């Protein structure tokens, strides 16, 4: 499927939230600033009467639940389409399903699907007063996760210009990593390292403005931020790596933590696999901000939804 990265913007305004690729810096900053206001509880606008429908064709705990909470905190209604028991299981196409929910006067769709570009395809098909948010499209992008990751880094580190950020693990299959790299580059991070076995690194990494390290110790040394990723086994066609050697070579344990800066923050989008990519004592330790990320996800998703509602209202 050919993905149109510009469809989320109309006259420079955000109408859908689909990708960080091609998203202007000013919009990324607007989202962070609005999320900050919502996080402090200072200015929460009410969007009463708006209806948000969630369509999750892949499993989710954090993303779906924080979208639901965020919707309720801005006083809108949330309807959860139970995909496993929906008419798509009777052969209805996604577009017919979308048109049906549209007829129920929905204002926003939050979509997660295993096929890259599904949210974009839906955005191209819905009527112009409806906003679509990409909650993860296969191994392509996960833009709301990248925004909550940017919010986390800003909150704990202040700014991006002086930071060395290391992303460790299955970069190849990770939509989180792709959105993160676009966002970090746009916000001007000083150095972005990607670390992992060659088999889990995309061929085109040289176009991503990152430094690749096959060796974990080199890759995370003097880092300000370490972002660990889960092995996306559901997207690996063959067993690409052995779990026994993976933890030895790429697991974030206490001794490797000593290589990073003393005040390094450890992030992970979740779900975490203890003893596979991260040692329990590191995941639960003083440098970990993994659960803070989950909490910030609520304010960040509130910010994105409210910006979309405002922009649709203005047009
Ligand atoms: C991620 C996802 O679904 O892409 N998780 C999330 O949204 N919090 C990462 C993962 O599944 O490993």
Residues 59, 112: Cα–Cα separation, whole Å: 9
CB of 145 shorter than 6 A to ligand 1: yes
Neighbours of 84 (CB within 10 A): 8
Q: Which of 271, 274, 278, 294 to mutate to test the pocket of ligand 1 (most atoms within 8 A of CB)?
A: 271
Instruction: Give residue 297's pLDDT.
Output: 98
CB of 136 shorter than 6 A to ligand 1: yes
Write out the chain's pLDDT in tens, 315 residues: 789 999 999 999 999 999 999 999 999 999 999 999 999 887 788 999 999 999 999 999 999 999 999 999 999 999 999 888 888 777 889 999 999 999 999 999 999 999 999 999 999 999 999 999 999 999 999 999 999 999 999 999 999 999 999 999 999 999 999 999 999 999 999 999 999 999 999 999 999 999 999 999 999 999 999 999 999 988 887 767 888 899 999 999 999 999 999 999 999 999 999 999 999 999 999 999 999 999 999 999 999 999 999 999 876
Atom of ligand 1 nearest to the CA of 142: 4
DSSP string, 163-228: -EEEEES--TT-HHHHHHHHHHHHTT-SEEEEES-GGGS-GGGGGGT-EEESSHHHHHTT-SEEEE
Instruction: Give residue 106's pLDDT.
Output: 96
Instruction: Give residue 217's pLDDT.
Output: 97
Centre of ligand 1 to C-alpha 230, Å, is 8
Q: Which of 135, 136, 148 to mutate to test the pocket of ligand 1 (most atoms within 8 A of CB)?
A: 136
CB of 230 shorter than 6 A to ligand 1: yes
Instruction: Give residue 313's pLDDT.
Output: 85
Which single residue is written with the structure tokens 């001007």? 188
Dmax over CA atoms of the chain, in Å, equals 57
Neighbours of 41 (CB within 10 A): 9
Atom of ligand 1 nearest to the CA of 176: 4
Residues 228, 84: Cα–Cα separation, whole Å: 30
Residues 273, 235: Cα–Cα separation, whole Å: 16
Q: Please, how many CA atoms are within 13 Å of residue 8, restricted to the half-sphere of its CB?
A: 23
Centre of ligand 1 to C-alpha 300, Å, is 16
Centre of ligand 1 to C-alpha 54, Å, is 16
Atom of ligand 1 nearest to the CA of 135: 7
Centre of ligand 1 to C-alpha 76, Å, is 25
Atom of ligand 1 nearest to the CA of 270: 8
Atom of ligand 1 nearest to the CA of 232: 12
Centre of ligand 1 to C-alpha 271, Å, is 7
Instruction: Give residue 315's pLDDT.
Output: 67
Q: Which of 113, 133, 138, 145 to mutate to test the pocket of ligand 1 (most atoms within 8 A of CB)?
A: 145
Nearest residue to 196 (alpha-carbon basis) of 180, 224, 175, 174: 174
CB of 269 shorter than 6 A to ligand 1: yes
Atom of ligand 1 nearest to the CA of 269: 8
- Structural domains of the chain ordered from first start: 9-142+297-314 (3.40.50.1370), 145-294 (3.40.50.1370)
Q: What is the pTM of this model?
A: 0.97
The residue whose CA is least distant from atom 1 of ligand 1 is 269
């Amino acid at each position: 499927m050919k993905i149109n990265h510009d469809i989320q913007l109309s006259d420079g305004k955000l109408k859908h939230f689909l990708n960080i690729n091609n998203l202007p810096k000013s919009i990324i900053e607007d989202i962070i600033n609005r999320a900050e206001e919502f996080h402090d509880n200072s200015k929460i606008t009410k969007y009463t009467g708006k209806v948000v429908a969630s369509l999750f064709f892949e499993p989710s705990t954090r993303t779906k639940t924080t979208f639901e909470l965020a919707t309720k905190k801005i006083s809108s209604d949330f309807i959860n389409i139970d995909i496993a028991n929906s008419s798509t299981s009777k052969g209805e196409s996604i577009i017919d399903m979308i048109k049906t929910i549209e007829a129920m006067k929905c204002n926003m769709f939050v979509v997660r699907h295993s096929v890259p570009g599904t949210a974009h395809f839906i955005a191209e098909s819905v009527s112009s007063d409806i906003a679509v948010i990409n909650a993860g499209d296969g191994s392509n992008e996960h833009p709301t996760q990248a925004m909550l990751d940017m919010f986390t880094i800003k909150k704990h580190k202040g700014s991006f210009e002086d930071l060395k950020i290391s992303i460790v693990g299955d970069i190849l299959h990770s939509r989180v990593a792709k959105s993160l790299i676009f966002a970090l580059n746009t916000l001007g991070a000083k150095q972005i390292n990607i670390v992992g076995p060659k088999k889990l690194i995309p061929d085109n990494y040289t176009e991503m403005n990152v430094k690749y390290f096959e060796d974990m110790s080199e890759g995370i040394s003097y880092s300000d931020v370490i972002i660990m990723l889960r092995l996306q086994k559901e997207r690996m066609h063959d067993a690409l790596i052995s779990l026994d050697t993976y933890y030895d070579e790429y697991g974030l344990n206490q001794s490797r933590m000593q290589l990073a800066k003393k005040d390094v923050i450890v992030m992970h989008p979740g779900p975490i696999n203890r003893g596979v990519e991260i040692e329990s004592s590191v995941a639960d330790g003083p440098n970990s901000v993994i659960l803070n990320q989950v909490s910030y996800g609520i304010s960040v998703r509130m910010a994105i939804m409210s910006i979309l509602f405002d922009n649709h209202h203005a047009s």
